[in-house]
C-alpha cells in the first residue's frame, strides 16, 4: 500500500464488493491508510459489514447512477473483490447509460468469468477509472504466498502426483475460460470448479458415494487452485481461506495446493492453523513446477 500522500494523488478508491472477506479487508486497509474510498454493493447481494464504511447500494440496471456516485466521490481507481452471482437483468429498468451499454453487458454475461470481468473492467476504464488488483490495496503481508509447505504436514508422493494431474486438467480447460480449481484423487478427477464456486465443489466431493472413490478412499486427493492461463489478475485472482480448508477436510482430501503468487490467502495465519488442526497439508507450488 502506498503512503497516505501517494494514495491521495491517486484519488479515491472504488471497491466493487461481492461476498467473502476480501472486500471488507480492502475497505479496512484503505480506511487505515487514510485514503478516501467508496464501497459499492448491489441491492441483489446485500453485505452485513458495510455500515462501518462509506457505502452505496446500487442496482445493475442503474449503472449510470453508480458511475455518477463514483465521480462525485472522486474515484479514479477501482478494485473488484469478492464473489458475485451473475444478475438477472431487467431491461425495462435500464437507465440511460445501461441502455447505451446494455447489449454489450448482455453479451458479457453469456461469456466465461474472465472474459466477462475483462469486459466490465473495460467499461470502468472507458469512464476514466483505472483498474487495480486487490494485492495493490492491502498493506502488510502479501496476499499471495511464496513457494513451499505452509503448515506442519508435507504432501506425499501420491499427493504430488495428484497436484500435477489437477494442473494438467486446469491448463486444458483454461482456454475455454472454465475453472480455477480441480479435485483429483489417485490420478482421477473427482470434480472441477464451474460457476458454483470452490465451496460448492468441495461439498459435491464430500457427497460422492464411496464407490466413486474406491480407488483412493479418504483421506486422499487434493484440491488445486490456480489462475487460468492468461487471466487478468487484477480482476479475479483465485482465493482460499479457512473455510476452504475446512471444506477440503470435510471432503476427505489429504491437502490443498495453490499456485505460488497466483492465489490469495485470506487470513493466512488462520488458514494455516485450520490445515494443521484438520491434519491436511497446505502447499504453495511454484508455477514452473505445475
Residue 84 has pLDDT above 90, yes or no: no
Domain 148-289 grouped into CATH 3.40.140.80: yes
Please indicate whether residue 17 or residue 109 has the higher confidence score (pLDDT): 17
Residue 203's alpha-carbon distances to 34, 185, 239, 244, 260, in angstroms, are 40, 15, 17, 10, 25
53-69 pLDDT, tens digit per residue, is 999 999 888 889 999 99
Percent of the chain scored above 70 by pLDDT? 93
Mean pLDDT throughout 146-156?
95
Distance CA 195, CA 157 (A): 31
162-203 pLDDT, tens digit per residue, is 999 999 999 999 888 788 899 999 999 999 998 888 999 999
Strand segments (E) across 60-131: 75-81, 130-131
Domain 4-136 grouped into CATH 3.40.50.20: yes
Per-residue pLDDT band for 2 (boundaries 50, 70, 90) equals: very low
Distance CA 182, CA 227 (A): 12
Give the chain's end-to-end CA distance (angstroms, integer): 30
Contact 180, 228 (CB under 8 A): yes
Look at residue 141 in the predicted model and tell me its pLDDT: 54
Each domain of the chain, given as residue ranges in start order, spans 4-136, 148-289
Amino acid at each position: 500500500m502506498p503512503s497516505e500522500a501517494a494514495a491521495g494523488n491517486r484519488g479515491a478508491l472504488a471497491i466493487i464488493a461481492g461476498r467473502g472477506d476480501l472486500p471488507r479487508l480492502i475497505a479496512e486497509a484503505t480506511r487505515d491508510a487514510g485514503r478516501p474510498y467508496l464501497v459499492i454493493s448491489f441491492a441483489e447481494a446485500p453485505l452485513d459489514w458495510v455500515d462501518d464504511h462509506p457505502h452505496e447500494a446500487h442496482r445493475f440496471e442503474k449503472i449510470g447512477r453508480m458511475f455518477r456516485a463514483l465521480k462525485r466521490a472522486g474515484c479514479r481507481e477501482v478494485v473488484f473483490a469478492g464473489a458475485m452471482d451473475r444478475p438477472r437483468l431487467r431491461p425495462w429498468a435500464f437507465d440511460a447509460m445501461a441502455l447505451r451499454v446494455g447489449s454489450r453487458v448482455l453479451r458479457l454475461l453469456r461469456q466465461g468469468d474472465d472474459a466477462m470481468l475483462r469486459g466490465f473492467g473495460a467499461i470502468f476504464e472507458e469512464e476514466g477509472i483505472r483498474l487495480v488488483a486487490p494485492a495493490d490495496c492491502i498493506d502488510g503481508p502479501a496476499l499471495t504466498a511464496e513457494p513451499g509447505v505452509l503448515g506442519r504436514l508435507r504432501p506425499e508422493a501420491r499427493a504430488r502426483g495428484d497436484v500435477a494431474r489437477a494442473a494438467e486438467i486446469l491448463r486444458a480447460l483454461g482456454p475455454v475460460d472454465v475453472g480455477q480449481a480441480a479435485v483429483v484423487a489417485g490420478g482421477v478427477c473427482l470434480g472441477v470448479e464451474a460457476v458454483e464456486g470452490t465451496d460448492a465443489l468441495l461439498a459435491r466431493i464430500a457427497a460422492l458415494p464411496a464407490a466413486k472413490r474406491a480407488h483412493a478412499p479418504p483421506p486422499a486427493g487434493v484440491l488445486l487452485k490456480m489462475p487460468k492461463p492468461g487471466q487478468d489478475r487484477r480482476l479475479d485472482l483465485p482465493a482460499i481461506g479457512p473455510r476452504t480448508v475446512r471444506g477440503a477436510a470435510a471432503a476427505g482430501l489429504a491437502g490443498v495446493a495453490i499456485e505460488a503468487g497466483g492465489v490469495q490467502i485470506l487470513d493466512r495465519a488462520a488458514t494455516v492453523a485450520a490445515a494443521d488442526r484438520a491434519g491436511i497439508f497446505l502447499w504453495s507450488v511454484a508455477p514452473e513446477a505445475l
